[in-house]
Structure 1
Amino acid sequence: MIAAGLARSAEASPRARVDADQVAPGAPSTGSVCSGPGIRCYAHVRTDAAGDIAADAATPNGYGPAELQSAYQIDPAMAKPATIAIVDAYGYANLESDLAVYRTQFGLPPCTRASGCLKIVNQDGMTSPLPADPPASDDWTVETALDVDMASAACPSCKILVVQGTSNSNGNLYTAQSSAAAAHPTVISDSWGGPTQVGEDLTGQEPFFDHPGIAQFVSAGDSGYNEGGRGPAYPSTSAHVIAVGGTALARSSTTRGWSEVAWTKGGSSCSYSIAKPAYQTASPCSFRAASDIAAVGDPATGVAVYNASNGGWIVLGGTSASAPLVAAIFAATGHGDVTAALISQHIDMFFDVTSGSNGPCGNLLCNATTGWDGPTGYGTPSARLILAGGGGTGPGPGTLTVMITSPSENASVKGGFKVTATASAAAVEVGFGIDGTLLQVAKSAPYEFTAPATLSFGPHLVQVAAADAQNNVVSSQVHVIVTLGGGGAGAVPIDDGSDAKSGGCHVSSGTAPISLVAIFVAGLAVCRRRRRA
């Protein structure tokens, strides 16, 4: 398949339109993937000097699921059953096999058509016939690969429905949108759009996005404010959708561990005709403005995606990355009916992005600032806080949450590795354990623990549980692999009671197939009752 991809590259080079403007000095070369007439996808890819897609046949670059889950505080173990619908143009013969490579590489569970996890249909909602693959000069397979990989990264257990328009025409994609909604998914992700003009009547297009109860996350654009002067992007300015902008995401020394600024080419728009919603009080636009929310979009800080026809592993960005990522977060947290208005009422669930710009408009429609702004909306999501919100009410002072922030899922570690966690103010004790054995308990932040130096090499389950004053308990877990030479040959040592911090409490893990998580949670509760007695 890689050889076939190289052959396709030779027939139509360069494969991406080089981003000649709004790229920071020293940043990697990037280009937009889609270039055909009609609606464009908003994927941007790292390129070589000639403008060809830069690919690596064997090694992924860019952020993978572990980094994205860390940045947006996603705990895959807490995901609720959900289906993410993705609407794209053209066919993609390698979709299932490319997705399998991505999920296998990062240790995610398989998602196949045979299992029912993955479903691919045409714009009429039928599994056959599927559309032909796109022309090499307008390669929507890159967009679709990005969409399904981001959905997988944010919610590995979610089902994925891909609805393929016959082409990138308005009529085909809008028909596909209606078919996606008719399938009653949890959310819909649209990583595409096009500029609109003064006087253009959108009333005939709005019904295609009017699907109450199904949140539709739409990329806000990829050429800066009002698509670089070409006009506000639609359907991101539709009254019925949630417009998703883009950020540059980087590691930092903050408590969160990550920082974000507005991406220079991320979309924001001031509609020419869609009525201004009541909640957009901060916007100077006389009509509906975008964005409502944001996530990583800058390809310079992009994500790893697998597409065999383009050489294997490539690095992508664009609001095409942020839309499916955010859609999956809301689906997994049980908020598939969220609206832009509801997001505006619960801004405490988001990381406010306060710096960066995507154009010269001179106000907050193109400059990130405190609170709402065009490039990033109300900010980027914390899945932990959204999940804790329970139906959108927001995490009150009595909400009990806990999340492991380090190590990441499937990390390779050595014996004696450090474990850090965050917990809500309702937590009165936070316990740490491995493979069902409760090892340490802390009564206040920071919640930092040390694994036994003698931990045997191989796979282990790291668990952290929090208890509140009413003895309610919640937990978070990650899997790690202790590398050879990093630990000992013995089992995890059990606290004998000499550690005053842990209070002499432990619980044995028992033997499989007993639920380790259940035992660990029960152990923490028993431990607390014992110390109060």
Structure 2
Amino acid sequence: MKRRSLATLTLAVAGTAVLAVSAAAPATAATSSAVSPATSGVYTVHPFVEKSALSPGQISPALTPADCLAETGGAVACQTPDSIRAAYDIPATINGAAAGTGQTIVIVEAFGSPTVQSDLAVFSQQFGLPTPDLTVYYPGGKPTWNGRGTQSNWAQETSLDVQWAHAVAPGAKIALVVAANDHGATIDNAVKFAVDNKLGNVLSMSYGEADNLISSPNANNGQTKQAQKSFVQGAAQGMSMFASSGDEGSDNAAGFANFGFPASDPNVTAVGGTNVWAGSGLTQPHDTVWGDYATCPLTCAFGPIGATGGAQSLFLAKGGSDVAYNASVYTGVLTYLGFLGGDSNGFYYFGGTSAGSPQWAALTADVIQAVGHTVGTVSKYAPGWATGGQLFDVTEGSNLTPTFDGGYSATAGWDRPSGWGTPDVGKIIAALQ
């Protein structure tokens, strides 16, 4: 099995960004106010991936984590839609319709993928999911695909997010909003486009910017202020917005406690990472904090790979994750990539908190379908869900890193790496009904 670890993506300083609505966009789309070059910051995206030994023809809806453990010599308990639904009590249908029916999941990416439609179709067919309904928007114009460097990395993130949103809410439509380039201001304008047009009731962002970069004397946080305006507007519209907590532990490789944006925004629900327990061959009877440097799961065949973010923000009040979800590569989710070419195309194991953000958005779409109304900012419900048993309390593990041993440990109740815990979607639906 060949290991492929994706490089960190750095967004260049943006030039003036003008929102040019594509033909697929709603006719009512508004022109975005541009963010100047001086105010554009840096975002990163961290999908961690291992090559699977399983070709598309070998995948079946009956595949289990145990099958993957057998294929990999006990190294990886890869997750499928069935195993994730079982782990988090996610219904496949609601009132006789596929879960998520009537809802649209909005996903924001840069560059997108040239094979996003066909890859999603392969994934859906192999796991016996309903035919997907995906619309791609290019609010800044469609980028020219060259398949190199950061474009390839963003394409992998796009595949992960779109396929696993569909896995968790197979009846929902997906609105993929693709920024024309990887400049920070361009991505923020893509978020603004999605919010201005309220493309859906839930929105996922699998990227972030370390707080120390925002707060640095050499940085200008005008870009984050632009994004925060969209988050305030989205919350006022009843949208549920999610962002990953990061994959470089409690310090974001800075050597001191350091969270990230947009996960730190109060209107955005920050999704921390865990090692999912159910059916994964782990000895603990519950999820544990994804922190390979503290406790590496299974055989740790590839060594420590990453750790969930979670720390006090340097410039906002939030102190870490709000909720959590599976993020370990060792319990990673199977995702199909078809743009790599030749024998490189196929299923991969993906990990990282960027996998949790679109799945929390999707399970919230399921909840909205079931209860018949929007729920808004999910983090405001999390404390009550924790005491009511709708969230599983994560009490083991830490997000320390080699660059900072002051990582935070999971505790009873809320903690910085895993927030209030992982979801029992069936119980969440019952509580809101």
Q: Is the structural similarity TM-score above 0.5?
A: yes
Distance in 1, Cα, partners of 2:336 & 2:266: 34
Distance 1:133 1:351, change over 3 A: farther
* CA deviation profile, 1:275-302 (whole Å, cap 9, x unmatched): x2xxxxxxxxxxx112000111011110
Match of 1:206 in 2: 228
1:103 aligns with 2:124: yes
Letter in 1 for 2:106: A
Distance in 1, Cα, partners of 2:93 & 2:289: 30
Letter in 2 for 1:195: A
2:137 to 121, 127, 131: 121
1:327 aligns with 2:368: no
1:194 aligns with 2:168: no
Q: What TM-score do the two structures reach when normalised by structure 1?
A: 0.59
Match of 1:215 in 2: 240
1:85 aligns with 2:124: no
Match of 1:132 in 2: 144
Distance in 1, Cα, partners of 2:277 & 2:421: 15
Match of 2:394 in 1: 353
Distance in 2, Cα, partners of 1:65 & 1:356: 25
Q: What TM-score do the two structures reach when normalised by structure 2?
A: 0.72
Match of 2:332 in 1: 302
TM superposition shift of 1:259? 2.6
TM superposition shift of 1:162? 0.2
Contact 1:33 1:142 in 2 (8 A): no
TM superposition shift of 1:29? 4.8
Letter in 2 for 1:390: L
Contact 2:56 2:126 in 1 (8 A): no
Letter in 2 for 1:101: V
Distance 1:234 1:388, change over 3 A: same
Contact 1:133 1:141 in 2 (8 A): no
Distance in 2, Cα, partners of 1:33 & 1:159: 30
Match of 2:428 in 1: 386
TM superposition shift of 1:130? 2.2
Distance 1:367 1:137, change over 3 A: same
1:178 aligns with 2:208: no
Distance 1:28 1:341, change over 3 A: farther
TM superposition shift of 1:134? 6.3
Contact 2:204 2:358 in 1 (8 A): yes
Answer with 302-311 or 37-46: which moved more: 37-46
TM superposition shift of 1:75? 0.9
Report SS of the residue matched to 2:129. Answer: coil
1:65 aligns with 2:81: yes
* Greater percentage in strand: 1
Match of 2:49 in 1: 45
Match of 2:376 in 1: 337
Distance 1:176 1:244, change over 3 A: same
Distance 1:253 1:297, change over 3 A: closer
Letter in 1 for 2:419: G
- Number of aligned positions between the proteins: 336
Distance in 1, Cα, partners of 2:240 & 2:3: 34
1:314 to 325, 348, 367: 348
* CA deviation profile, 1:188-239 (whole Å, cap 9, x unmatched): 0000012122456444442132211111110010111131326421111112
Report SS of the residue matched to 1:87. Answer: strand
Match of 1:289 in 2: 319
Report SS of the residue matched to 1:388. Answer: helix
Distance 1:189 1:54, change over 3 A: farther
Letter in 1 for 2:314: Y
Distance in 1, Cα, partners of 2:225 & 2:390: 33
Distance in 2, Cα, partners of 1:54 & 1:143: 20
Distance in 2, Cα, partners of 1:367 & 1:149: 31
Distance in 2, Cα, partners of 1:331 & 1:134: 34
Distance in 2, Cα, partners of 1:90 & 1:160: 17
Match of 2:289 in 1: 262
Instruction: Map 1:224-235 to 2 at 5 A.
Output: 224-229=249-254, 231-235=258-262
Distance in 2, Cα, partners of 1:181 & 1:54: 40
* CA deviation profile, 1:10-35 (whole Å, cap 9, x unmatched): xxxxxxxxxxxxxxxxx995623543
Match of 2:6 in 1: 32
Report SS of the residue matched to 1:209. Answer: helix
Match of 2:299 in 1: none
Contact 1:294 1:322 in 2 (8 A): yes
Match of 1:444 in 2: none
TM superposition shift of 1:358? 1.0
Contact 1:123 1:166 in 2 (8 A): yes
Report SS of the residue matched to 1:345. Answer: helix
Structure 2 unaligned residues grouped into runs of 5+ = 12-41, 60-67, 69-77, 292-306, 369-373
Report SS of the residue matched to 1:152. Answer: helix
Distance in 2, Cα, partners of 1:268 & 1:66: 29
Letter in 2 for 1:118: L
Distance in 1, Cα, partners of 2:2 & 2:391: 29
Distance in 1, Cα, partners of 2:85 & 2:2: 24
2:178 to 146, 152, 164: 164
Distance 1:130 1:329, change over 3 A: same
Match of 1:244 in 2: 271
Contact 1:87 1:163 in 2 (8 A): yes
* CA deviation profile, 1:429-471 (whole Å, cap 9, x unmatched): xxxxxxxxxxxxxxxxxxxxxxxxxxxxxxxxxxxxxxxxxxx
Distance in 2, Cα, partners of 1:77 & 1:258: 27
Distance in 2, Cα, partners of 1:215 & 1:30: 33
Q: Which has the higher contact order (CA 8 A, sep 6+)?
A: 2
* Greater percentage in helix: 2
Distance in 1, Cα, partners of 2:183 & 2:109: 11
